[in-house]
Each structure stands twice: as structure tokens, then as C-alpha cells.
Amino acid sequence: MKEAIKEAKKALRKGEVPVGAILVDEKGNILARGYNIKEKKKDPSAHAEIVVIRKACKKLNTWRLEGCSLYVTLQPCLMCFGALVQARIKRLIFGAYDPKEKFYELIYLNHSMEIKGGILESECSQLLKSFFKILRDFSSLRIYGKIKVRRGG
């Protein structure tokens, strides 16, 4: 999870929502690392999980990631969870919980994937909180800027 947090910090530095992910094989070797690049790619599917799945599939030249574990700093959304299932990922380990993702209640009952949440949770969620605080501060600055321009004109 520490490696996934490092990736999330890279996203933060680039002005992306700070979510990072790592994919490891059965032996614990890192196959791929990545972070959310939705803004950069202008792609709504460029979540950290999708980024690492794509990298690992390309590297291994297969869409089957059986036996692999995905570490991600935020509980995956429905789209990413679907991709994990499609890639046959064995284990999902995430940091911060996302209360928006209600579908997990169903999955915990019906799915065979091992899911573990809340790993280094405070560190993972703190990154997201600081990002959204910066955004809020920034947007209030912009509003101030507009008022200033109006006064000047």
C-alpha cells in the first residue's frame, strides 16, 4: 500500500485526484504501477486501477491477471471493480473507503474475490482530503479574482 500511496502523491503533484494503484503477482513482484490520469488523458476511464490493469496486460500480453493482487488507495468504483473481475484479479486491497460505492454490500455476499479495505486508511484519505481542500481554496481565489476584475473594469 505504501507503493500505491507514492503513486497517489504523483497524481496530487500533477493536479489529478490523488488515487494510486499497484498490481502485484502471486510472488509479490510489482507488475505495474499507476495513478489517476483522468484530467491528463481527458478520459473518464483513466482511473488508477484501469491504468495498472492496462499496463500489466500489455506487459504480460494477456488479459488474464489470475492470481494477481491490486493495491489501491481508494475503494474502487463500479467501473473499476468490473474491470478487476474481468481481469480475474484474485485479491483487492484498498485504503480509504468510498461511502458512495454502495454496490459493495452485494459483492461481499456474491463474489469470490478476496477484498480487504481500510489498509493505511488515514494516510490514503488524508491525501484526498488535502486535494479537495486545495481545490476549494483555489476556486475561492478564482471567485475573488473575478470580483477584482469587475471592479477594475
Instruction: Please tell me the count of residues contacting Zn ion according to CB under 5 A.
Output: 3
Candidates 16, 26, 39, 49; catalytic one: 49
Buried b (16+ CB within 10 A) or exposed e, 22-50: bbbeeeeeebbbbbbbbeeeeeeebbbbb
Could you tell me which stretch among 31-39, 45-53, 59-67, 121-129 binds Zn ion (CB under 5 A)?
45-53
Q: Is 85 in the site for Zn ion (CB under 5 A)?
A: no
Does an H or E element contain 143, and which?
helix 121-152
Q: Please confirm, yes or no, whether 123 is among the known catalytic residues.
A: no
Residue pair 57/3 in contact by the 8 Å Cβ criterion: no
Q: What's the CA gap between 23 and 72, in Å, rounded? A: 9
Q: Is 47 in the site for Zn ion (CB under 5 A)?
A: yes
Query: Which of 57, 60, 77, 115 lies at the binding interface for Zn ion (CB under 5 A)?
Result: 77
Q: Is 80 in the site for Zn ion (CB under 5 A)?
A: yes
Q: What's the CA gap between 3 and 24, in Å, rounded? A: 11
Q: For residue 85, how far is the Cα from the chain centroid? A: 16
Could you tell me which stretch among 5-13, 26-34, 78-86, 106-114 binds Zn ion (CB under 5 A)?
78-86
Q: Is 38 in the site for Zn ion (CB under 5 A)?
A: no
Could you tell me which stretch among 30-38, 75-83, 109-117, 132-140 binds Zn ion (CB under 5 A)?
75-83
Eight-class DSSP state of 14 = T
**Which residues have a catalytic role annotated?**
49
Binding site for Zn ion (CB under 5 A): 47, 77, 80
